[in-house]
Structure 1
Amino acid sequence: MNKARVILIYMLIFMSLSSCSNRKYEQTITRADNLMELSQDSARSALAILDSIRPDLSKMGKSTQMRYQLVYAKGMNKGYVDFTTDSLMKEIVDYYDNHGTCQQQMLAHYLLGCVYRDLGDSPASLSCYNDAVEKVDTTSSDCDYKLLTKVYEQQGALFLSQSMPQNALSAYQKAEKYAWIAKDTLSAVLSYEHLGNIYEYMDNMNKVIEVYENASRRYRQYGYPVQAARALGGAIQALILTKQYAKAKKYMDVFEAESGYFQKDSCYSYINYSHYYYLKGLYCLESHSDSAKYWFTKCQEFAKTNNNKSFSAYAWYLYYIKHQQMDSVAKYSEQAFAYNDSANLDMERDLMQKMQAIYDYNRWKNVAHNEEIKATRANLTMLVSILVSVSVIIIGILTFLVYRKKRKLELQEKEEQENQIRQQIYYTKQELELLRTVNDRKIADVIKEKEQTINKLKEDLKDIRDKYSNSSLSDVDILLKESSIYKRIKYLELHPKETMRENDWIELEETIEQLIPSFIPLLKNRLNVMAYRICLLVKLEISTSSIAILLGLSSSAISKYRKVMLEKLCDRSGKPKDFDEYIRQIE
Structure 2
Amino acid sequence: MKKLQLVLLAIVSLFVLAGCHGDKQYDDLLQQADSIMNIDDDSAKVAIKLLDKAKPQLNDFSKAQRMRYQLLYHKAKNKADILFSSDSIMKNVVAYYEKHGTSNERMLAYYMLGCVYRDLYEAPMALENYDKATEQADTTKKDCDYTTLSRIYGQMGILFEKQHIPYQELSALNNATKYAYLAKDTLNAILFFQNKSTAFYDLSEIDSAIHINLKAYNLLKKHGYDQIANIVFGCNYGYYIEKKDYKRAKESFKIFKKTEYNGNDNYEDSKAYIFCEQGDYYLFSGQLDSAFLCLNQSLKLSKSYSNKCAATKGLAKYYTKTNHSALAAKYALLSSEYNDSSLYELRESQLQQMQAMYDYSRNQKLAKEAEYKAKQRLHTIYLIIISSCLILLSAVYIYRKNIRKRNHKLLVAQRLYKASILKLQTTKTELAHLKNLNETKIAALIKEKEAVIENLQKEINQYESIHSGRNLVEINKQLMDTFVYKKLAYIECHPQEKITDETWDNLEETLEGMIPSLANIKLKLSKKEYRICLLTRLHFSPSAISCFMQCNLPDISMSRKRMLSKLCEKDGKPKELDEYIQHLM
TM-score interval, normalised by the smaller of the two chains = 0.5 to 0.7
CA distance in 2 between counterparts of 1:387 and 1:66 reads: 35
> Could you say which residue in structure 2 is the equivalent of 1:5?
none
1:93-492 equivalences under 5 Å are: 93-94=91-92, 97=95, 101-102=100-101, 110-111=111-112, 114-115=115-116, 117-118=118-119, 121-123=120-122, 126-127=124-125, 130-131=128-129, 134=132, 138=136, 146-147=147-148, 149-165=150-166, 168-169=169-170, 171-172=172-173, 175=176, 187=188, 190-205=191-206, 208=209, 262-263=258-259, 273=274, 292-293=285-286, 301-303=293-295, 304=298, 305-309=307-311, 312=314, 337-338=332-333, 341-342=336-337, 344-373=339-368, 375-377=370-372, 379-380=374-375, 382-403=377-398, 405-407=400-402, 409-410=404-405, 413-414=408-409, 416-429=411-424, 431-433=426-428, 435-436=430-431, 437-438=433-434, 439=442, 441-442=444-445, 444-445=447-448, 447-449=450-452, 451-453=454-456, 455-456=458-459, 458-460=461-463, 462-463=465-466, 474-478=477-481, 480-481=482-483, 490=490
> Could you say which residue in structure 2 is the equivalent of 1:48?
49
**1:362-385 Cα shifts (integer Å, max 9, x gaps):** 242145235414632552354145
Letter in 2 for 1:398: L
In the TM superposition, residue 391 of structure 1 has moved relative to its aligned partner by 1.8
Between 1:430-439 and 1:266-275, the stretch displaced more is: 266-275
TM-score normalized by structure 1?
Answer: 0.67
**Matched residue SS, 2:21:** helix
The structure-2 alpha-carbon separation of the partners of 1:330 and 1:546, relative to structure 1 and needing over 3 Å to count, comes to farther
1:545-556 equivalences under 5 Å are: 551-552=549-550
Native 8 Å contact 1:146 1:178 kept in 2: yes
CA distance in 2 between counterparts of 1:518 and 1:122 reads: 88
Letter in 2 for 1:122: Y
The structure-2 alpha-carbon separation of the partners of 1:144 and 1:541, relative to structure 1 and needing over 3 Å to count, comes to farther
In the TM superposition, residue 130 of structure 1 has moved relative to its aligned partner by 2.9
Letter in 1 for 2:201: E
Letter in 1 for 2:409: K
The structure-2 alpha-carbon separation of the partners of 1:370 and 1:467, relative to structure 1 and needing over 3 Å to count, comes to same
The structure-2 alpha-carbon separation of the partners of 1:223 and 1:61, relative to structure 1 and needing over 3 Å to count, comes to same
**Matched residue SS, 1:20:** coil
CA distance in 1 between counterparts of 2:521 and 2:20 reads: 62
**1:149-192 Cα shifts (integer Å, max 9, x gaps):** 54443343233213344554555456557657766565555445
Letter in 1 for 2:378: L
Number of residue equivalences = 531
Native 8 Å contact 1:193 1:211 kept in 2: yes
CA distance in 2 between counterparts of 1:143 and 1:97 reads: 21
In the TM superposition, residue 348 of structure 1 has moved relative to its aligned partner by 0.4
In the TM superposition, residue 51 of structure 1 has moved relative to its aligned partner by 3.9
**Matched residue SS, 2:258:** coil
Between 1:19-28 and 1:410-419, the stretch displaced more is: 19-28
**1:512-557 Cα shifts (integer Å, max 9, x gaps):** 445544445447844672x65455556668899986665556xxx4
CA distance in 1 between counterparts of 2:500 and 2:369 reads: 64
> Could you say which residue in structure 2 is the equivalent of 1:37?
38
> Could you say which residue in structure 2 is the equivalent of 1:4?
none
CA distance in 2 between counterparts of 1:363 and 1:512 reads: 77
The structure-2 alpha-carbon separation of the partners of 1:273 and 1:491, relative to structure 1 and needing over 3 Å to count, comes to farther
Native 8 Å contact 1:57 1:65 kept in 2: no
The structure-2 alpha-carbon separation of the partners of 1:91 and 1:351, relative to structure 1 and needing over 3 Å to count, comes to same
CA distance in 2 between counterparts of 1:472 and 1:517 reads: 12
The structure-2 alpha-carbon separation of the partners of 1:52 and 1:423, relative to structure 1 and needing over 3 Å to count, comes to closer
**Unmatched 5+ residue regions in structure 2?**
1-18, 299-306, 435-441, 565-570
The structure-2 alpha-carbon separation of the partners of 1:78 and 1:493, relative to structure 1 and needing over 3 Å to count, comes to same
TM-score normalized by structure 2?
Answer: 0.67
In the TM superposition, residue 361 of structure 1 has moved relative to its aligned partner by 0.6
Native 8 Å contact 2:114 2:129 kept in 1: no
The structure-2 alpha-carbon separation of the partners of 1:546 and 1:117, relative to structure 1 and needing over 3 Å to count, comes to farther
Native 8 Å contact 1:300 1:309 kept in 2: no
> Could you say which residue in structure 2 is the equivalent of 1:76?
77
In the TM superposition, residue 298 of structure 1 has moved relative to its aligned partner by 5.8
Native 8 Å contact 2:113 2:129 kept in 1: no
